[in-house]
A and B are shown apart, each in its own frame.
Chain A
Amino acid sequence: QEKVQQSPESLIVPEGAMSSLNCTFSNSASQSIWWYQQHPGKGPEALISIFSNGNKKEGRLTVYLNRASLHVSLHIRDSQPSDSAVYLCAVKRPSGSWQLIFGSGTQLTVMP
C-alpha cells in the first residue's frame, strides 16, 4: 500500500525566513503530487501540484520533485504569520482511480 511520510512534524521559523517542508512517497509510478494547507477548524485547501520531475514556482511557493529518490519538497519564501498552518502532502495513486493518499502533515509556525 502506498505510503506518504512528511518531515519535520513541526517547524518554527521567524517572519521573512524560508520554510522548507519535505515529503517522501513509496511508489515511483504515483501520478501528481499535491500540497494542501489546513488552518485550525477548516478543511484542507489545495496550494500547488506537480507531476514532472523538476521544480514549479507559483508566487512565494516552489515545489521540487525527484521521482528517482521518491522525494518532493515545498519551499515558502518570505514566510508570514498567516502561513502558520498544517501542510499536507498528497500523492495521487497510480492505479488510475481518483484517490489521493495523504501524509500526516507538518505544523508550520511563523513567529512575528
Chain B
Amino acid sequence: EAAVTQSPRNKVTVTGGNVTLSCRQTNSHNYMYWYRQDTGHGLRLIHYSYGAGNLQIGDVPDGYKATRTTQEDFFLLLELASPSQTSLYFCASSDGQISNERLFFGHGTKLSVL
C-alpha cells in the first residue's frame, strides 16, 4: 500500500509568517501534488510535480511556492501567510501511468493563519 506522510499535522502561524509543509512518499511515484480543501470548494490543486526538480502550476497557485527536492520529498512554502490560506492541505502521489492513475493521499495538515 502506498504511503504518503505529511508533517506537521497541525500548524498555527500569524499573518506574514513563513510556513513550510512537508510531504514524503515511499513508493517511488513519479507524480506528487499539493491540494487545499475548503468547505464548499472541495479539493483544489495548488502545485504538482512529475519528478525531482520539476514544478507545475495548478489551479490556485497564488501565494504558494513548492519544491520537489527528491523523488520522495515535496514541500509547500507560504512565505507571507495570509488568513485566506487557512485551510486543510493534502499531499498526494501517483504512479503517472495510464494503467494506474490512482492518487494516494496523506492525512492532511491543518493550517491556521491568525
A interface, CB within 8 angstroms of B = 1, 4, 32, 34, 36, 41-46, 49, 88, 90, 92, 97-105
Contacts and interface: CB of A to CB of B under 8 A. Distances in A.
A86 to B, nearest CB: 9
A99 B107 contact: no
Interface size class on chain B is 20 to 34
Interface in B40-72: 40-45, 48, 50, 56, 58-59
A33 to B, nearest CB: 11
B50 A102 contact: no
A42 B48 CA distance: 21
A42 B107 contact: yes
Interface of B: 4, 31, 33, 35, 40-45, 48, 50, 56, 58-59, 90, 92, 94, 96, 101-108
Nearest to B4: A43
A88 B107 contact: no
Contacts of B44: 102
A88 B37 CA distance: 12
A97 B59 CA distance: 13
B43 A88 contact: yes
Nearest to A42: B107
B1 to A, nearest CB: 10
Contact of A88 (B31, B33, B42, B102): B42
